[in-house]
Amino acid sequence: MTADAIHVEVDPAVDLVNPFARPIGPAILVIFGAAGDLTKRKLLPALCNLWSSKLLEREIAVLGIGRTALDTASYRERVREELAQFATQSLEPRVVEEILERTHYLQGNFDDAKLYPALGEKLRELDAQCGTKGNHLFYLSTAPEFFAPIVEHLGRAGLTKEGGAPSEASSSGWKRVIVEKPFGHDVASARELNERLRAVLHESQIYRIDHYLGKETVQNILVFRFANGLFEPVWNRLYIDNVQITVAESLGVESRGGYYEGAGALRDMVPNHLLQLLALVAMEPPTSFAAEAVREEKTKVLRAIPPMTPEEVLTHAVRGQYGAGTLDGTALHGYREEERVDPRSSTETYVALQLRIDNWRWAGVPFYLRTGKRMPKRVSEIAIQFRRPPLLLFRATHVEHVPRNVLILRMQPDEGITLRFGAKIPGPSVRLGQVAMDFCYKEHFHQAPTTGYETLIYDCIKGDPTLFQRADSVELSWEIVRPILEVWKALPPRAFPNYAAGSWGPPEADALLKREGHGWRRIEP
């Protein structure tokens, strides 16, 4: 995300290639996990989108590393087929060819020390051949147990040293590492991973990714809040009653049972995606779009969330696991029947939390978070519920209560913003109806679909860490969920499964809000 990109006045009718964003490079993108899912579904399609939008310099190369026995020619063929399947836009054949020409492959095991001198050799060769000037971005798209060992091997082979002489193992140029999630599985492991990475790399070389921050609609939260005079003055506890963040998925765990069994919904979604959304909604205005200004304000929000006491975990955190059910007329089996899942599993596939932010802006405003698999609909949204007005004026009418105004920021799908407010239903008596003002991204900005990784890759090559997580914010996020993990571990759930696939989660999640006189916003199927 760049400041200049934000101040642009756009003509909504134009399919825009941002005229202010300049092509970036030169660089080699080294992908550990070249044959993996993320690479084919997101990374290479994102690279093609950047290329087709002229946002990459010609001096760009991709070096895929994987265990699969392939050479550059066969890897290119494989990428060609994958792009045909997973590209988000219809790509001109020229774009695909130009990316393929720049794509290379190196076979090796990530934990084999011999891989790294060979990698150094290959990088030198590509730098000379492609003019990439020793700028190397290492993308760790691997299982998390490889994150630290790969970085340590890179360090030992001299491949992370910046600005060395061209003759050294690591040539001149910058070296950066993108670390995929999960970044640890609790506070201790996140801290250990940070320490191991920082023993080799400078903090400015580490880019901890959260793909939610690559979504346009998520980035727009800041612009919406701080580029409009209307909303920010009421964005506080005087006017806002509660905030509800929902990230619901209709899919189950698919083929990821092996990973998910050890993670669960809390670890998988809350310390990263949901807390990042919360931080963007709740942060104070930063002094600029500079990375440190933005990241510092987000981190302050996390610091202001008091960790739950064990008693609060019992009352403020709800977990659920889906059982058999139906969705859109299709019968679905329960989580315990999924592939690579223990038939007596106590892993949660749903979590709802009530958090508070103990600062001047937010004290007393509950922040409700919920996320789950096998919900009736895929939807990510933030609903800001405003305080009710007094009823005095309506006492002598049939109006019994005045509904809250609600501002809904829809992240996906149907990206947009809706403001719901009351209006008089025409007629001789005073009756209130709910109406909505709606902004829909797709109707207004005719932009070709993207993967969400374009901005993140672009920013990393450019050296802008604004949309990446700082070490302290990752550790703080784990601190927030720590008591919940501990209590849930000590007290296994009594009744799993406790919600049917295709429903909105267990009844306890409704009770959580009801106790405070609230209710989850009804999301239409």
Q: Output the six-digit token pair for 221.
A: 């939260």
Smallest gap from Cβ 267 to ligand BG6, in A, equals 9
Q: Output the six-digit token pair for 198.
A: 């920082």
- 273 annotated active-site: yes
Alpha-carbon span 321 to 138, nearest angstrom: 37
In the complex with ligand BG6, the residue whose CB is nearer, 297 or 381, is: 381
Smallest gap from Cβ 338 to ligand BG6, in A, equals 13
Alpha-carbon span 14 to 363, nearest angstrom: 43
Smallest gap from Cβ 381 to ligand BG6, in A, equals 12
Contact, 499 vs 321, CB < 8 A?
Answer: yes
In the complex with ligand BG6, the residue whose CB is nearer, 249 or 475, is: 249
Going by C-alpha positions, the residue among 295, 306, 310 that lies closest to residue 358 is 306
Alpha-carbon span 465 to 459, nearest angstrom: 7
Task: Give the CB-side neighbour count of residue 78, counting CA atoms within 13 A.
Answer: 19
Alpha-carbon span 37 to 161, nearest angstrom: 29
Alpha-carbon span 133 to 7, nearest angstrom: 32
In the complex with ligand BG6, the residue whose CB is nearer, 345 or 380, is: 380
Contact, 48 vs 96, CB < 8 A?
Answer: yes
In the complex with ligand BG6, the residue whose CB is nearer, 106 or 409, is: 409
Contact, 218 vs 417, CB < 8 A?
Answer: no
Alpha-carbon span 142 to 145, nearest angstrom: 8
Task: Give the CA angle between residues 210, 215, 220 to the nearest 5°.
Answer: 115
In the complex with ligand BG6, the residue whose CB is nearer, 181 or 336, is: 181
In the complex with ligand BG6, the residue whose CB is nearer, 218 or 513, is: 218
Alpha helices per DSSP H over 58-134: 72-86, 93-101, 115-130
Smallest gap from Cβ 521 to ligand BG6, in A, equals 18
Looking at residue 79, its amino acid is V
Decide: helix, strand or coil at residue 43.
helix
In the complex with ligand BG6, the residue whose CB is nearer, 236 or 412, is: 412
Contact, 450 vs 46, CB < 8 A?
Answer: yes
Q: Which residues bind ligand BG6 (CB under 6 A)?
A: 181, 249, 268, 380
Q: Which residues pair with 422 in a beta bridge?
A: 434
Smallest gap from Cβ 510 to ligand BG6, in A, equals 23
Q: Measured at CB, which residue is nearest to ligand BG6?
A: 268
Smallest gap from Cβ 257 to ligand BG6, in A, equals 11
Looking at residue 47, its amino acid is L
Alpha-carbon span 516 to 180, nearest angstrom: 37
- Using the structure block, give the residue that is written with the tokens 């679909």: 449
Q: Which of 104, 153, 273, 518 is catalytic?
A: 273
Smallest gap from Cβ 259 to ligand BG6, in A, equals 8
| DSSP result, 367-414 | EEEEEESS-SS-EEEEEEEEPPPPSGGGTTSS---PPPPEEEEEEESS
In the complex with ligand BG6, the residue whose CB is nearer, 200 or 213, is: 213
Smallest gap from Cβ 249 to ligand BG6, in A, equals 5
Residues that are catalytic: 273
